[in-house]
Amino acid sequence: MTTNSRHKSNTFIDLFSGIGGFHLACKQATEKFANPKKKAKCVFACEIDENARKTYMKHFGKIEPYLFANNRFATDITKVDPNEIEDFRLLCAGFPCQPFSQAGKKKGFEDIRGTMFSHIVRIIQAKEPEAIFLENVNFIKNHDNKQTFSTIKTVLEDELRYQMHYFDVRASDHGLPQHRPRVFMIGFLDHSLNFTPPKKKKLKLTMSDVLGGEVDRTIGLTLRVGGKNSPISDRRNWDGYVVDGVERRLTISEAKRMQGFPKGFKFPVSDAVAMRQLGNSVAVKAVRDYAEQIFIALD
């Protein structure tokens, strides 16, 4: 494979972008770089959910107007022509793992047809980015008797020829008071590159800090989409806490802090929709720490 974007600026694309957690993380990862050309720039994004698109555009519209011109902010990934995407260094995607019901039968490209992952592969094949950064729930490693993850690894390593690194990551190891276990899949087209994962960080922000009172747990529950307003004693509860002896629910601003979104990040949707969007997003600081090491390895 050739590397068609080497030594250019740190361009990236944001697939299944949601509200822009990967976008924020990549921008933050290069803030300290002295060379302006090394500042991360998003040149393409794709998100099908209408409300998520509204939130994404609300925050990034003025910051990165380039992204919202000439069809660079696509809707349906299944209709994207990879050849119309400009060259980029890093592909980012937090992709859904369903449906992979037939995964593992043929051990390769045949297994991924009809999945969202297959459209990521189409883009990688056409554009050959220098690096890829994929994120998913930990369950994907055991999905379909581990056949799903085995198939993904086969495609990335044997058929696309990337040198892959896999990490079990918790948001709480990157300064955020939330467990949020995830698997990060990071790969490089150039097998000689030296990638060093970031070191774990001490937790400085606790749930008592977030909620402004005494809470019986230092690290909070993982933000999710379903189960909102479940009884605190229920296993599905993730948004209910006892603060100074009084039971209450997370607010949007508190959930943003748990996910690492900046205070000024605004939601042009209802609070219920905003909370679902946060539950679907990535832990920004965890992604940022790994993205920083990716850009360092590339340079």
Taking Cα atoms as reference points, which of 28, 13, 114, 20 lies closest to residue 60? 20
> Is the domain 11-199+279-298 a CATH 1.10.287.70 member?
no
**Amino acid making up residue 268:** P
Query: CB-based contacts of 71: which residues, under 8 Å, 6+ apart?
Result: 84
Question: Beta strand 11-15 with 41-46: parallel, antiparallel or unpaired?
Answer: parallel
pLDDT tens-digit profile, the chain (299 residues): 444 444 468 999 999 999 999 999 999 999 988 788 789 999 999 999 999 999 999 999 998 999 999 999 999 999 999 999 999 999 999 987 655 544 445 555 565 666 889 999 999 999 999 999 999 999 888 887 888 889 899 999 999 999 999 999 999 999 999 999 999 999 999 999 999 999 999 998 999 999 999 999 999 999 998 889 999 999 999 999 999 999 999 999 999 999 999 999 999 999 999 999 999 999 999 999 999 999 999 98
How far, rounded to the nearest angstrom, does the alpha carbon of residue 225 sit from its chain's CA centroid? 16
Q: Is 97 a catalytic residue?
A: yes
Domain ranges of the chain: 11-199+279-298, 207-268
The pLDDT of residue 104? 47
Element (H, E) at 112: helix 109-112
Q: Which residues pair with 240 in a beta bridge?
A: 249
The position carrying tokens 């047809």 is: 113
Show Cβ contacts of residue 276 under 8 Å, excluding neighbours closer than 6 positions.
225
- pLDDT recorded at residue 101: 46
Q: Are 105 and 113 in contact (CB under 8 A)?
A: no
How many Cβ atoms sit within 10 Å of the Cβ of residue 195?
16
pLDDT of residue 247: 96
